[in-house]
Amino acid sequence: MTPRRSRHAAHLVRHTLAVFAVLSTISISALWLCASLGYTLYYGDAEAHLNIARRVLDSRTPGLEQLGTVWLPLPHLLMLPFVARDDWWMSGLGGAMPVSACFVAAGVFLFASARRRFSSYASAWTAALMFALNLNMLYLQSTPMTEPVFAAALAGLLWATLWYRDSQSLVALLAAAAAAIAASLTRYEGWIIAPAAALFMLVSARDKRHAILFAALAALGPLAWLAHNQFYYSNALEFYNGDYSALAIYRRQLAQGMARYPGDHDWPKALEYYFAAIKLTLGWPSLVIGVAGAAACALKRAWWPLFLLLLPPAFYLWSIYASGIPIYVPDLWPNAWYNVRYGLAALPLTAFCAAGLVAALPTRIRVGAVLGVTLLIGVAVLLTGPAASFRESEMNSAARRTWTREVAATLQASYQSGGGVIYSFGDLTGVLREARIPLREGRHEGNRPSWDAAVQRPDLFLRDEWALAISGDKVSTAISRSGRTGPHYRLRGRIIVKGAPVVELYQRTPQPSR
């Protein structure tokens, strides 16, 4: 290696380590703050991701079947070493820590991508800081949510494909394939970026066999998930059209008379709602910088990064139009907060475009531009107050958190190890976590065939001491049916909280003498 290249490599290592240190400090600080204030599991999805990971290890029927079918498995697999520890599971930290690590990785990969494409450390720092200082992403990375994990895979794929284009290295190709697999096993928008990357490889590869190899490797992610669904549920598309899929839930809601989601087969409305979500999660300053940066990237012919990073927002827009995915924002009917965080799909694109804008400036003012962008984002944070994603999670979880605490307190005070609890997996799982009851003490839909036997023939197979139900669900119905011939259960508590379903807690009573 020549002295000049050696100095360049050392310079790159120093900057990369500095970015890693800055982002790690930001990440750990946000993680600690959210944990200390009790915000880690405000999102219902965060609670679900945490408990799905835990039940793979801690269940009456542990194993890969407990990964379920709707949510893709990689985030839960990353959580496994952490949720195995009881106190980290019970606090939620076991689910949040690997997500925080992915947040840092996403910022580092964005830094590396911008530096490789624009040959400018100032622009690379801009990309990393634009991503890391977004309050919404900072909150999500402090919880067991999947958006930061996907951002890491997406940014890693961008970096690896740019590296391959420049080097034609087989190592770069394998890195790109690993990132594509990770993306496709994290969120379903990953299923469209892998084919796009395969086309890029086909165009970029001097040896076209490399493109074929990449496509074959990248396809392993979706194929593995299809195989999982086929093996455990006898339907490769169970995640798409099964009973617990978003599509099936939406169809049931429509059949019950619910109004269609805004944007359903209405492109203007879909665009209106999704753009509103982007505004709430990115803020006007970031949007203005991003739009100006997109023009700068186009002038610099950075077509591939623009195209790749545009795919996730395009996926959400299409999903609102065609797939029954709702987004509710406070300023549009029905004036609520729901899935606003999906607007963050545009954050990596905006961060990279900001890097392109700085790269287009004269060299002598680039450092000042980075400081200006950082200051502008900081002022915007102070003016806008709490993050939209936090507001969404706080408002939508208030009732759930209230009844979870009440039921958990009652159950914890009386529960004896080995008694058993039957319940429907979902929000009710938070009761066991807060009551400090291992999930292997419970019986839920993932514990087939014993679950099916208990709810269909409670007179023969329902033997758990406790039953936790939402009024009208399968457990509640089974308890009602069992009262005729036994086993007999006594209602220990009915929790009624405004804006939430009625939650019922039952305890088994001795059989009456005949």
Asked whether 411 and 431 are in contact (CB, 8 A), the reply is yes
What gap in Å lies between CA 163 and CA 175, rounded to an integer?
A: 9
In a domain, 6, yes or no: no
Task: Let me know whether 298 and 226 are in one domain.
Answer: yes
Convert the pLDDT of each residue in 18-32 to its tens digit. 999 999 999 999 999
The token pair at 139 is 């909150």
Work out the pLDDT band at 251, boundaries 50, 70, 90.
confident
Please tell me the total count of domains within the chain: 2
CB–CB of 83/50 below 8 Å?
yes
Write down the pLDDT at residue 384.
62
Task: Specify whether the CB–CB gap between 470 and 476 falls below 8 A.
Answer: yes
Distances (CA, A) of 179 to 61, 246, 365, 429: 31, 26, 35, 32
- Whether the CB-CB separation of 411 and 437 falls below 8 Å is answered with yes
Half-sphere exposure of 339 (CA within 13 A, CB side): 16
Q: What are the counts of helices (DSSP H) followed by strands (DSSP E) for the chain?
A: 24, 5
Q: Give residue 498's domain range.
A: 392-509
Are 184 and 75 part of one and the same domain? yes
| Structural domain includes residue 319 | yes
Q: Among the three residues 352, 369, 391, which one is the final residue of a domain in this structure? A: 391
- How far apart are alpha carbons 15 and 370 in whole angstroms? 15
514 domain residue, yes or no: no
The pLDDT confidence band at residue 513, using thresholds 50, 70 and 90, is very low
Specify the 3-state DSSP secondary structure of 109. helix
Residues 369, 430 within the same domain = no
Q: With 60 as the cut, is the pLDDT of residue 505 above it? A: yes
Say if 200 falls within a structural domain.
yes
Unique residue bearing structure tokens 């591939």: 304
372 and 404 inside one domain: no
* Residue 362 predicted with pLDDT over 90: no
User: Do 20 and 133 have their domain in common?
Assistant: yes
72, part of any domain: yes
303, 286, 353, 308: which is closest to 114 by C-alpha? 353
Residue 460 structure tokens: 């023969």
For residues 242 and 278, membership in a common domain is answered with: yes
Based on the domain organization, do 290 and 422 belong to the same domain? no
399 and 386 part of one domain: no
Residue 61's pLDDT band (cuts 50, 70, 90): very high
Q: Three-state SS for 495?
A: strand
The answer to whether the CB of 138 falls within 8 A of the CB of 377 is no
- List phi, psi (to 5°) of 213: -60, -45
CA 311, CA 59: separation in Å to the nearest integer? Answer: 38
In a domain, 2, yes or no: no
Digit-coded pLDDT (tens) for 375-415: 777 666 656 666 899 999 999 999 999 999 999 999 999 99
Q: Could you read off the pLDDT of 96-125 as tens digits, one per residue?
A: 999 999 999 999 999 999 999 999 999 999
Same domain, 380 and 273: yes
Q: Within a domain: residue 1?
A: no
Q: Return the pLDDT at 449.
A: 93
- Of 344, 362, 391, which closes a domain? 391
Per the model's pLDDT, the better-predicted residue between 50 and 284 turns out to be 50
Residues 316 and 260: their CA atoms lie apart, in Å, by 17
Burial 148-157 (b: 16+ CB within 10 A, else e): bbbbbbbbbb
CATH classification at residue 499: 3.40.190
Say if residue 417 is in the same domain as residue 368. Answer: no
Q: Is 166 in contact with 160 (CB distance < 8 Å)?
A: no
Reported confidence tier of residue 275, pLDDT bands at 50, 70, 90: very high
Per-position DSSP letters for 334-374, written without gaps between them: T---BSGGGGGGGHHHHHHHHHHHHHTS-GGGHHHHHHHHH
The token duo for 282 is 């990115």
Least confident of 134-138, 311-315, 371-375: 371-375
- Whole-number pLDDT of residue 482: 86
Q: What is the pLDDT of residue 381?
A: 60
Residue 5 domain flag: no
The answer to whether 186 and 149 have CB atoms below 8 angstroms apart is yes
pTM, 2 dp: 0.96
Name the average pLDDT for the chain: 93
CA angle 279, 156, 222 (to 5 degrees): 90
Whether residue 310 is found in the same domain as residue 417: no
What pLDDT is attached to residue 383? 61
Q: Which of 337, 357, 391 is the last residue of a domain?
A: 391
Helix (H, G, I), strand (E, B) or coil at 462: coil
Cβ(226)–Cβ(235) below 8 Å? no
For residues 274 and 418, membership in a common domain is answered with no
Digit-coded pLDDT (tens) for 473-496: 999 999 998 877 889 999 999 999
HEC letters along 264-303: CCCHHHHHHHHHHHHHHHHCHHHHHHHHHHHHHHHHCCCH
Alpha-carbon distance of 85 to 145, in angstroms, equals 19
The CB-side HSE value for 215 (13 A sphere, CA atoms) comes to 14
Tell me if the bond preceding 330 is cis, omega within 30° of 0.
no
